[in-house]
């Protein structure tokens, strides 16, 4: 496995693979890697001739500078995991390499990016599109892999790929959970032991809501989830929306769509956690 720090070196390294028509898989990350990321890497390694992983904490997608400062940076440990997964190249640029000058591009994918995370984190998805498009331009992969835990992000990246005519297949990969059900997240490392225990109520409530939904309306299911989590110690629900899985717009009845997902964001102490569950 080779670690690369500049776009020029990356493209030089990849040129021989592309000339030989070998398929390139790409997994963009912000580091602090866990088994959820590992599942993306392993999928890419299985699907492609060569796999590139990027490790870059992107400043333009943080609307809270404290969150940016607190985001864990663990490149040495990340590289050990990436090598175990069979990754061939790690691209670990600094901020000046990715943004030699400010990126003033504005991406507008309303209504996908104006609800849920887009509503509560203004500018977040614009920053995501800025960095993912720059990484796509640098790597020029055949396939790129993203986790379904960031459900809204995946939908917006698919839309960006269509909009910008990237010849890239976007592969969504299922949420990876701990044995007790907690969705894996880099932010979990910031949870205290008590907060980690409290956070279990998020996934447990979502799982229960699937059974509950079979005999209750969308509104009743939404009320049940918010109420159950809000009454759990140390948890504060920022939002819970039950939406069409393609449009991300709220549904009012289970008959409105054949693809319905519940998306939630919860503060556990000062750690912001997201999760989702598919109802149909």
CA distances from residue 117 to 189, 233, 248, 270 in whole angstroms, order as listed: 21, 24, 11, 17
Euclidean distance between CA atoms 43 and 34, whole angstroms: 15
Phi, psi angles (nearest 5°) of residue 165: 55, 40
Contact 52, 24 (CB under 8 A): yes
Kindly report whether the peptide bond that precedes residue 111 is cis, defined as omega within 30 degrees of 0: yes
Name 75's bridge partners.
Answer: none
Contact 233, 199 (CB under 8 A): no
Please pick, among 37, 120, 124, 216, the residue that the annotation labels catalytic.
37
Q: Where are the alpha helices (DSSP H) in 54-121?
A: 65-70, 75-85, 95-98, 117-120
Residue 34 a catalytic site member: no
Euclidean distance between CA atoms 196 and 201, whole angstroms: 10
Q: What six digits make up the tokens of 4? A: 């690369």
Q: Which of 176, 96, 164, 175 is nearest to 132 (CA)?
A: 164
CA distances from residue 243 to 107, 205, 251, 255, 277 in whole angstroms, order as listed: 22, 17, 5, 12, 11
> What DSSP designation does 190 have?
G
Euclidean distance between CA atoms 197 and 271, whole angstroms: 13
Contact 90, 84 (CB under 8 A): no
- Residues marked active site are found at 37
């Amino acid at each position: 496995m080779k670690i690369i720090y500049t776009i020029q070196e990356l493209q030089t390294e990849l040129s021989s693979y592309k000339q030989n028509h070998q398929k390139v898989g790409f997994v963009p990350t912000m580091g602090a890697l866990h088994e959820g990321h590992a599942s993306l890497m392993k999928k890419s390694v299985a699907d492609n001739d060569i796999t590139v992983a990027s490790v870059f904490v992107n400043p333009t997608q943080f609307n809270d500078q404290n969150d940016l400062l607190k985001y864990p940076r663990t490149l040495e440990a990340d590289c050990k995991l990436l090598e175990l997964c069979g990754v061939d190249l790690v691209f670990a640029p600094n901020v000046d390499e990715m943004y030699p000058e400010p990126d003033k591009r504005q991406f507008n994918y309303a209504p996908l990016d104006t609800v849920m995370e887009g509503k509560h984190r203004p500018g977040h998805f614009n920053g995501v599109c800025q960095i993912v498009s720059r990484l796509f331009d640098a790597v020029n992969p055949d396939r790129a892999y993203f986790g379904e835990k960031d459900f809204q992000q995946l939908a917006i990246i698919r839309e960006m790929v269509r909009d910008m005519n990237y010849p890239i297949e976007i592969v969504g990969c299922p949420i990876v959970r701990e044995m007790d059900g907690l969705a894996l997240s880099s932010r979990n490392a910031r949870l205290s032991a008590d907060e980690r225990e409290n956070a279990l109520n998020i996934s447990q409530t979502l799982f229960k809501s699937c059974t509950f939904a079979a005999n209750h309306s969308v509104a009743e299911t939404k009320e049940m989830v918010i109420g159950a989590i809000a009454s759990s110690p140390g948890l504060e629900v920022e939002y819970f929306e039950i939406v069409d899985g393609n449009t991300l717009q709220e549904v009012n009845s289970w008959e409105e769509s054949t693809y319905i997902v519940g998306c939630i964001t919860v503060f556990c102490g000062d750690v912001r956690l997201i999760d989702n569950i598919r109802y149909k």
